[in-house]
A and B are shown apart, each in its own frame.
Chain A
Protein backbone atom coordinates (compact mmCIF):
# COMPACT_ATOMS: atom_id res chain seq x y z
CA UNK A 1 0.00 0.00 0.00
CA UNK A 2 1.41 3.40 -0.93
CA UNK A 3 1.17 6.22 1.60
CA UNK A 4 -1.42 7.77 -0.68
CA UNK A 5 -3.75 4.74 -0.80
CA UNK A 6 -3.30 4.30 2.97
CA UNK A 7 -4.51 7.84 3.42
CA UNK A 8 -7.44 7.13 1.14
CA UNK A 9 -8.50 3.91 2.92
CA UNK A 10 -8.07 5.67 6.29
CA UNK A 11 -10.44 8.33 5.04
CA UNK A 12 -12.88 5.70 3.83
CA UNK A 13 -12.99 4.13 7.33
CA UNK A 14 -13.38 7.50 8.99
CA UNK A 15 -16.11 8.57 6.59
CA UNK A 16 -17.98 5.30 7.07
CA UNK A 17 -17.94 5.84 10.85
CA UNK A 18 -19.16 9.41 10.48
CA UNK A 19 -21.97 8.39 8.18
CA UNK A 20 -23.10 5.58 10.50
CA UNK A 21 -23.09 7.71 13.65
CA UNK A 22 -24.85 10.57 11.87
CA UNK A 23 -27.80 8.22 11.36
CA UNK A 24 -27.94 7.22 15.02
CA UNK A 25 -30.49 9.25 16.91
CA UNK A 26 -28.97 10.39 20.23
CA UNK A 27 -31.06 9.44 23.28
CA UNK A 28 -31.93 13.09 23.90
CA UNK A 29 -33.11 13.61 20.30
CA UNK A 30 -35.63 10.78 20.10
CA UNK A 31 -38.97 12.12 18.88
CA UNK A 32 -42.12 10.44 20.16
CA UNK A 33 -45.45 11.18 18.48
CA UNK A 34 -48.70 9.37 19.25
CA UNK A 35 -46.75 6.88 21.36
CA UNK A 36 -44.68 6.06 18.28
CA UNK A 37 -41.08 6.50 17.21
CA UNK A 38 -41.41 6.66 13.44
CA UNK A 39 -38.03 5.50 12.20
CA UNK A 40 -35.06 3.36 13.15
CA UNK A 41 -32.95 4.77 15.98
CA UNK A 42 -29.79 3.44 14.36
CA UNK A 43 -30.67 4.25 10.78
CA UNK A 44 -30.47 0.51 10.08
CA UNK A 45 -33.11 -2.21 10.15
CA UNK A 46 -33.20 -4.50 13.18
CA UNK A 47 -32.26 -8.16 13.12
CA UNK A 48 -34.81 -10.39 14.85
CA UNK A 49 -32.39 -13.25 15.55
CA UNK A 50 -29.94 -10.92 17.32
CA UNK A 51 -32.87 -9.27 19.09
CA UNK A 52 -33.96 -12.61 20.47
CA UNK A 53 -30.51 -12.97 22.10
CA UNK A 54 -30.51 -9.41 23.44
CA UNK A 55 -33.97 -10.07 24.90
CA UNK A 56 -32.78 -13.06 26.95
CA UNK A 57 -29.25 -11.85 27.84
CA UNK A 58 -29.14 -10.95 31.55
CA UNK A 59 -26.54 -8.27 30.89
CA UNK A 60 -28.50 -6.66 28.03
CA UNK A 61 -32.29 -6.67 27.78
CA UNK A 62 -32.90 -9.16 30.58
CA UNK A 63 -36.53 -8.83 29.52
CA UNK A 64 -37.26 -12.31 30.93
CA UNK A 65 -36.65 -10.90 34.40
CA UNK A 66 -40.12 -9.40 34.16
CA UNK A 67 -41.90 -11.00 31.19
CA UNK A 68 -43.13 -14.48 30.35
CA UNK A 69 -42.39 -15.32 26.71
CA UNK A 70 -43.65 -18.68 25.41
CA UNK A 71 -41.34 -18.36 22.39
CA UNK A 72 -38.43 -19.10 24.75
CA UNK A 73 -39.22 -22.43 26.40
CA UNK A 74 -35.47 -23.17 26.49
CA UNK A 75 -35.03 -20.47 29.15
CA UNK A 76 -35.90 -21.84 32.58
CA UNK A 77 -37.25 -18.92 34.52
CA UNK A 78 -39.57 -16.24 33.23
CA UNK A 79 -40.48 -13.37 35.52
CA UNK A 80 -44.06 -12.23 36.00
CA UNK A 81 -43.76 -8.55 36.88
CA UNK A 82 -45.06 -7.35 33.51
CA UNK A 83 -47.57 -8.88 31.07
CA UNK A 84 -46.71 -12.00 29.04
CA UNK A 85 -45.33 -10.90 25.68
CA UNK A 86 -47.08 -13.62 23.71
CA UNK A 87 -48.87 -11.97 20.81
CA UNK A 88 -47.49 -8.55 21.67
CA UNK A 89 -47.06 -7.66 17.98
CA UNK A 90 -50.79 -7.87 17.47
CA UNK A 91 -51.38 -5.40 20.30
CA UNK A 92 -48.79 -2.77 19.30
CA UNK A 93 -47.32 -1.50 16.04
CA UNK A 94 -43.53 -1.76 15.52
CA UNK A 95 -43.31 2.02 15.99
CA UNK A 96 -45.08 1.74 19.35
CA UNK A 97 -42.96 -1.25 20.38
CA UNK A 98 -39.89 0.91 19.64
CA UNK A 99 -41.21 3.52 22.08
CA UNK A 100 -42.02 0.93 24.73
CA UNK A 101 -38.47 -0.43 24.62
CA UNK A 102 -36.65 2.90 24.23
CA UNK A 103 -38.79 4.88 26.69
CA UNK A 104 -41.39 2.71 28.43
CA UNK A 105 -42.55 5.55 30.65
CA UNK A 106 -43.66 7.59 27.65
CA UNK A 107 -46.22 4.87 26.87
CA UNK A 108 -47.15 3.69 30.35
CA UNK A 109 -46.78 6.00 33.36
CA UNK A 110 -43.78 7.54 35.08
CA UNK A 111 -44.41 4.97 37.78
CA UNK A 112 -43.83 2.01 35.50
CA UNK A 113 -41.21 -0.40 36.83
CA UNK A 114 -40.01 -1.10 33.27
CA UNK A 115 -36.65 0.60 32.65
CA UNK A 116 -36.11 2.96 29.73
CA UNK A 117 -33.65 1.10 27.54
CA UNK A 118 -32.65 4.03 25.33
CA UNK A 119 -32.84 7.16 27.45
CA UNK A 120 -30.64 9.11 29.83
CA UNK A 121 -33.65 9.97 31.97
CA UNK A 122 -32.81 7.33 34.60
CA UNK A 123 -32.50 6.99 38.39
CA UNK A 124 -30.16 8.83 40.78
CA UNK A 125 -26.56 7.89 41.60
CA UNK A 126 -26.01 5.89 38.42
CA UNK A 127 -22.94 3.65 38.67
CA UNK A 128 -19.97 5.77 37.59
CA UNK A 129 -18.97 3.73 34.56
CA UNK A 130 -22.55 3.85 33.23
CA UNK A 131 -23.14 7.60 33.48
CA UNK A 132 -24.23 8.98 30.12
CA UNK A 133 -24.80 5.48 28.73
CA UNK A 134 -28.07 3.85 27.73
CA UNK A 135 -28.89 0.25 28.74
CA UNK A 136 -29.10 -0.84 25.10
CA UNK A 137 -27.49 0.70 22.01
CA UNK A 138 -29.70 2.13 19.25
CA UNK A 139 -29.03 -0.96 17.14
CA UNK A 140 -29.86 -3.34 20.01
CA UNK A 141 -33.21 -1.56 20.45
CA UNK A 142 -33.89 -2.05 16.75
CA UNK A 143 -32.95 -5.73 17.00
CA UNK A 144 -35.26 -6.27 20.00
CA UNK A 145 -38.10 -4.44 18.24
CA UNK A 146 -37.60 -6.61 15.14
CA UNK A 147 -37.80 -9.66 17.39
CA UNK A 148 -40.93 -8.41 19.21
CA UNK A 149 -42.56 -7.85 15.82
CA UNK A 150 -42.36 -11.63 15.26
CA UNK A 151 -44.46 -12.34 18.38
CA UNK A 152 -47.83 -12.29 16.66
Chain B
Protein backbone atom coordinates (compact mmCIF):
# COMPACT_ATOMS: atom_id res chain seq x y z
CA UNK B 1 0.00 0.00 0.00
CA UNK B 2 1.08 3.50 -0.79
CA UNK B 3 2.42 5.26 2.32
CA UNK B 4 0.54 8.51 1.70
CA UNK B 5 -2.68 6.63 1.21
CA UNK B 6 -1.98 4.70 4.37
CA UNK B 7 -1.47 7.89 6.35
CA UNK B 8 -4.73 9.28 5.00
CA UNK B 9 -6.54 6.09 5.91
CA UNK B 10 -5.07 6.05 9.40
CA UNK B 11 -6.00 9.69 9.86
CA UNK B 12 -9.49 9.12 8.51
CA UNK B 13 -10.24 6.24 10.82
CA UNK B 14 -8.55 8.01 13.72
CA UNK B 15 -6.44 4.89 13.99
CA UNK B 16 -3.17 6.59 14.63
CA UNK B 17 -1.32 3.65 16.09
CA UNK B 18 2.18 4.10 14.66
CA UNK B 19 2.90 0.45 15.11
CA UNK B 20 0.68 -0.47 12.20
CA UNK B 21 3.09 1.30 9.83
CA UNK B 22 5.56 -1.46 10.43
CA UNK B 23 3.48 -4.04 8.65
CA UNK B 24 3.75 -2.11 5.41
CA UNK B 25 7.48 -1.61 5.46
CA UNK B 26 8.43 -4.73 3.56
CA UNK B 27 9.64 -4.30 -0.02
CA UNK B 28 6.68 -4.45 -2.41
CA UNK B 29 5.77 -7.24 -4.77
CA UNK B 30 6.88 -7.13 -8.41
CA UNK B 31 7.28 -7.77 -11.22
CA UNK B 32 8.53 -4.70 -13.05
CA UNK B 33 7.99 -4.59 -16.79
CA UNK B 34 9.06 -1.47 -18.68
CA UNK B 35 6.24 -0.53 -21.08
CA UNK B 36 4.73 -3.93 -20.40
CA UNK B 37 7.50 -5.51 -22.47
CA UNK B 38 10.95 -5.61 -20.98
CA UNK B 39 11.05 -7.63 -17.77
CA UNK B 40 13.42 -6.29 -15.15
CA UNK B 41 15.20 -8.59 -12.73
CA UNK B 42 14.41 -6.77 -9.47
CA UNK B 43 15.22 -9.65 -7.12
CA UNK B 44 18.20 -11.91 -7.59
CA UNK B 45 20.16 -14.46 -5.60
CA UNK B 46 23.25 -12.71 -4.23
CA UNK B 47 26.84 -13.40 -5.25
CA UNK B 48 28.98 -15.72 -3.18
CA UNK B 49 30.22 -13.91 -0.08
CA UNK B 50 27.45 -11.30 -0.25
CA UNK B 51 26.20 -10.47 3.26
CA UNK B 52 22.52 -10.35 2.19
CA UNK B 53 20.60 -13.47 1.12
CA UNK B 54 18.87 -11.75 -1.78
CA UNK B 55 19.62 -8.63 -3.80
CA UNK B 56 16.56 -6.38 -4.18
CA UNK B 57 16.20 -3.36 -6.43
CA UNK B 58 15.46 0.04 -4.88
CA UNK B 59 12.32 0.03 -7.06
CA UNK B 60 10.62 -2.33 -4.59
CA UNK B 61 10.97 0.19 -1.76
CA UNK B 62 9.26 3.05 -3.55
CA UNK B 63 5.59 4.04 -3.50
CA UNK B 64 3.22 2.66 -6.11
CA UNK B 65 3.03 5.97 -7.94
CA UNK B 66 6.83 6.24 -8.17
CA UNK B 67 7.01 2.62 -9.30
CA UNK B 68 4.45 3.31 -12.01
CA UNK B 69 6.49 6.26 -13.32
CA UNK B 70 9.46 4.00 -13.92
CA UNK B 71 7.40 1.29 -15.58
CA UNK B 72 6.20 3.63 -18.34
CA UNK B 73 8.93 5.20 -20.45
CA UNK B 74 6.60 8.01 -21.57
CA UNK B 75 5.90 8.92 -17.96
CA UNK B 76 9.47 8.47 -16.73
CA UNK B 77 10.88 12.03 -16.48
CA UNK B 78 14.41 10.60 -16.75
CA UNK B 79 13.71 9.62 -20.36
CA UNK B 80 13.89 13.27 -21.40
CA UNK B 81 17.53 13.25 -20.33
CA UNK B 82 18.09 10.04 -22.25
CA UNK B 83 16.80 11.83 -25.37
CA UNK B 84 19.20 14.70 -24.73
CA UNK B 85 21.93 12.06 -24.39
CA UNK B 86 20.99 10.59 -27.74
CA UNK B 87 21.44 13.90 -29.49
CA UNK B 88 24.79 14.40 -27.72
CA UNK B 89 25.83 10.97 -29.01
CA UNK B 90 25.40 12.27 -32.53
CA UNK B 91 26.86 15.76 -32.00
CA UNK B 92 30.25 16.54 -33.49
CA UNK B 93 32.52 18.30 -30.99
CA UNK B 94 36.23 19.05 -30.63
CA UNK B 95 39.19 19.50 -32.97
CA UNK B 96 38.92 16.05 -34.60
CA UNK B 97 35.47 16.74 -36.07
CA UNK B 98 33.97 13.62 -34.53
CA UNK B 99 30.92 12.59 -32.53
CA UNK B 100 30.56 9.46 -30.41
CA UNK B 101 28.64 7.94 -33.32
CA UNK B 102 31.59 8.53 -35.68
CA UNK B 103 33.49 5.78 -33.88
CA UNK B 104 30.73 3.71 -32.27
CA UNK B 105 27.87 3.91 -34.81
CA UNK B 106 24.60 2.67 -33.42
CA UNK B 107 24.66 2.80 -29.62
CA UNK B 108 21.91 0.18 -29.43
CA UNK B 109 24.49 -2.30 -30.67
CA UNK B 110 27.89 -0.97 -29.66
CA UNK B 111 26.80 0.07 -26.15
CA UNK B 112 24.40 -2.77 -25.38
CA UNK B 113 26.63 -4.33 -22.71
CA UNK B 114 28.43 -1.26 -21.36
CA UNK B 115 25.89 -0.23 -18.74
CA UNK B 116 25.91 -3.69 -17.21
CA UNK B 117 29.68 -4.20 -17.05
CA UNK B 118 31.28 -1.00 -15.72
CA UNK B 119 33.39 -0.05 -13.78
CA UNK B 120 36.21 -1.63 -15.78
CA UNK B 121 39.94 -1.83 -15.26
CA UNK B 122 41.94 0.83 -17.10
CA UNK B 123 45.51 -0.39 -17.53
CA UNK B 124 46.82 3.02 -18.64
CA UNK B 125 45.85 4.81 -15.43
CA UNK B 126 46.13 1.69 -13.26
CA UNK B 127 42.64 2.34 -11.86
CA UNK B 128 39.05 1.31 -12.42
CA UNK B 129 37.03 3.75 -14.53
CA UNK B 130 33.28 4.29 -14.78
CA UNK B 131 31.17 5.28 -17.80
CA UNK B 132 31.49 9.00 -17.01
CA UNK B 133 35.28 8.74 -17.06
CA UNK B 134 35.25 6.58 -20.21
CA UNK B 135 33.21 9.31 -21.93
CA UNK B 136 35.75 11.92 -20.86
CA UNK B 137 38.64 9.80 -22.15
CA UNK B 138 36.94 9.53 -25.54
CA UNK B 139 36.25 13.25 -25.58
CA UNK B 140 39.84 14.22 -24.80
CA UNK B 141 41.79 11.49 -26.62
CA UNK B 142 39.60 10.79 -29.64
CA UNK B 143 37.50 13.89 -30.20
CA UNK B 144 39.87 16.67 -29.13
CA UNK B 145 37.08 18.02 -26.94
CA UNK B 146 37.18 19.04 -23.30
CA UNK B 147 36.37 16.64 -20.50
CA UNK B 148 32.99 17.25 -18.89
CA UNK B 149 33.34 18.56 -15.33
CA UNK B 150 31.54 16.40 -12.75
CA UNK B 151 27.76 16.42 -13.29
CA UNK B 152 28.09 19.23 -15.86
CA UNK B 153 27.74 19.67 -19.60
CA UNK B 154 26.36 16.50 -21.09
CA UNK B 155 27.81 14.13 -18.50
CA UNK B 156 24.58 12.98 -16.85
CA UNK B 157 22.38 12.71 -19.98
CA UNK B 158 25.07 11.01 -22.06
CA UNK B 159 25.86 8.54 -19.28
CA UNK B 160 22.14 7.85 -18.90
CA UNK B 161 21.76 7.31 -22.65
CA UNK B 162 24.68 4.88 -22.77
CA UNK B 163 23.60 2.90 -19.70
CA UNK B 164 20.01 2.84 -20.94
CA UNK B 165 21.17 0.75 -23.89
CA UNK B 166 21.72 -2.09 -21.40
CA UNK B 167 18.18 -1.78 -19.96
CA UNK B 168 17.18 -5.13 -18.46
CA UNK B 169 20.65 -6.72 -18.63
CA UNK B 170 21.90 -8.03 -15.29
CA UNK B 171 24.75 -6.07 -13.69
CA UNK B 172 27.90 -8.15 -13.73
CA UNK B 173 31.39 -7.17 -12.69
CA UNK B 174 34.70 -8.75 -13.72
CA UNK B 175 36.93 -8.65 -10.67
CA UNK B 176 39.64 -10.63 -12.45
CA UNK B 177 40.74 -7.62 -14.47
CA UNK B 178 43.93 -5.84 -13.32
CA UNK B 179 43.83 -4.96 -9.65
CA UNK B 180 40.03 -4.84 -9.38
CA UNK B 181 40.12 -7.19 -6.40
CA UNK B 182 42.21 -4.71 -4.38
CA UNK B 183 39.80 -1.91 -5.25
CA UNK B 184 36.93 -4.14 -4.18
CA UNK B 185 38.65 -4.63 -0.80
CA UNK B 186 39.17 -0.90 -0.42
CA UNK B 187 35.55 -0.21 -1.35
CA UNK B 188 34.40 -2.76 1.19
CA UNK B 189 36.38 -0.98 3.89
CA UNK B 190 34.67 2.28 2.95
CA UNK B 191 31.28 0.60 3.02
CA UNK B 192 31.71 -0.46 6.64
CA UNK B 193 33.59 2.62 7.85
CA UNK B 194 31.53 4.73 10.23
CA UNK B 195 31.77 8.37 9.35
CA UNK B 196 30.71 11.75 10.60
CA UNK B 197 29.27 13.12 13.80
CA UNK B 198 26.36 10.67 13.46
CA UNK B 199 28.80 7.75 13.29
CA UNK B 200 27.01 5.79 10.55
CA UNK B 201 28.27 3.59 7.72
CA UNK B 202 26.63 2.53 4.47
CA UNK B 203 26.06 -0.83 6.13
CA UNK B 204 24.25 0.55 9.19
CA UNK B 205 21.54 1.92 6.93
CA UNK B 206 21.50 -0.27 3.82
CA UNK B 207 22.64 -3.65 5.16
CA UNK B 208 21.31 -3.76 8.72
CA UNK B 209 18.17 -1.65 8.37
CA UNK B 210 16.92 -1.95 4.80
CA UNK B 211 13.17 -2.40 4.69
CA UNK B 212 12.65 -0.01 7.59
CA UNK B 213 11.60 3.61 7.57
CA UNK B 214 14.08 6.25 8.63
CA UNK B 215 11.63 9.07 9.24
CA UNK B 216 9.77 9.35 5.90
CA UNK B 217 12.33 7.41 3.83
CA UNK B 218 11.98 3.70 3.18
CA UNK B 219 15.53 2.35 3.34
CA UNK B 220 16.55 0.15 0.43
CA UNK B 221 19.66 -1.97 0.03
CA UNK B 222 21.37 0.99 -1.66
CA UNK B 223 21.89 -0.80 -4.96
CA UNK B 224 23.40 1.04 -7.90
CA UNK B 225 21.65 -0.55 -10.89
CA UNK B 226 19.39 2.44 -11.66
CA UNK B 227 21.95 5.24 -12.06
CA UNK B 228 21.87 7.94 -13.19
CA UNK B 229 18.52 7.98 -11.41
CA UNK B 230 15.67 10.46 -11.75
CA UNK B 231 15.00 11.81 -8.24
CA UNK B 232 11.58 13.33 -7.69
CA UNK B 233 12.83 15.27 -4.63
CA UNK B 234 15.35 17.10 -6.79
CA UNK B 235 13.36 16.99 -10.05
CA UNK B 236 16.59 16.01 -11.75
CA UNK B 237 18.78 13.18 -12.88
CA UNK B 238 21.21 12.25 -10.09
CA UNK B 239 24.57 10.64 -10.75
CA UNK B 240 25.90 7.78 -8.63
CA UNK B 241 28.76 9.79 -7.15
CA UNK B 242 26.35 12.58 -6.26
CA UNK B 243 24.21 10.03 -4.40
CA UNK B 244 27.30 8.64 -2.60
CA UNK B 245 28.28 12.15 -1.56
CA UNK B 246 24.76 12.90 -0.35
CA UNK B 247 24.63 9.78 1.81
CA UNK B 248 28.07 10.49 3.30
CA UNK B 249 27.13 14.13 3.89
CA UNK B 250 24.04 12.95 5.78
CA UNK B 251 26.32 11.32 8.36
CA UNK B 252 27.71 14.85 8.94
CA UNK B 253 31.07 13.95 7.44
CA UNK B 254 33.32 15.60 4.87
CA UNK B 255 32.74 13.79 1.59
CA UNK B 256 35.33 12.76 -1.01
CA UNK B 257 35.52 14.32 -4.49
CA UNK B 258 33.60 12.68 -7.32
CA UNK B 259 35.73 10.09 -9.17
CA UNK B 260 38.29 10.15 -6.32
CA UNK B 261 39.95 6.83 -5.54
CA UNK B 262 37.66 6.48 -2.50
CA UNK B 263 34.44 6.84 -4.47
CA UNK B 264 35.72 4.71 -7.36
CA UNK B 265 36.52 1.93 -4.87
CA UNK B 266 33.02 2.35 -3.41
CA UNK B 267 31.54 2.14 -6.92
CA UNK B 268 33.41 -1.11 -7.60
CA UNK B 269 32.23 -2.61 -4.32
CA UNK B 270 28.59 -1.46 -4.50
CA UNK B 271 28.36 -2.60 -8.13
CA UNK B 272 29.51 -6.02 -6.97
CA UNK B 273 26.78 -5.98 -4.32
CA UNK B 274 24.19 -5.09 -6.98
CA UNK B 275 25.12 -7.90 -9.37
CA UNK B 276 22.28 -9.88 -10.86
CA UNK B 277 19.83 -6.95 -10.87
CA UNK B 278 18.80 -5.49 -14.22
CA UNK B 279 20.17 -2.15 -15.32
CA UNK B 280 17.18 0.19 -14.77
CA UNK B 281 18.73 3.44 -16.02
CA UNK B 282 17.07 5.86 -15.70
CA UNK B 283 15.35 4.53 -12.57
CA UNK B 284 12.83 6.76 -10.78
CA UNK B 285 13.26 7.27 -7.04
CA UNK B 286 11.99 9.69 -4.40
Contacts and interface: CB of A to CB of B under 8 A. Distances in A.
A115 B196 CA distance: 10
Interface residues of B, number: 31
Nearest to B251: A123
B16 A126 contact: no
Interface stretch (A2-10, A45-53, A78-86): A78-86
B212 A79 contact: yes
Given A76-B7, A81-B209, A81-B212, A123 B19 contact: no
A94 B213 CA distance: 28
Contact of A127 (B18, B25, B212, B252): B252
Given A78-B21, A79-B212, A116 B254 contact: no
A104 B194 CA distance: 15
Contacts of B201: 123
A127 B196 contact: yes
Which residue, of B16, B22, B252, B254, has the highest number of chain A Cβ atoms within 10 A?
Answer: B252
B198 interface: yes
B197 A77 contact: no
Contacts of A65: 214-215
A115 B199 contact: yes
Contacts of A123: 193-201, 251, 253
A135 interface: yes
B17 interface: yes
Given A73-B16, A84-B19, A122-B196, 19 more contacts: A65-B214, A65-B215, A69-B18, A70-B16, A70-B17, A76-B7, A76-B216, A77-B213, A77-B216, A78-B215, A80-B213, A113-B209, A122-B198, A123-B193, A123-B253, A124-B196, A124-B253, A127-B252, A133-B197
8 contacts: A68-B18, A77-B213, A80-B213, A122-B196, A123-B253, A127-B196, A127-B249, A127-B254
Interface of A: 58, 62, 64-66, 68-70, 73, 76-81, 84, 113, 115-116, 122-128, 130, 133, 135
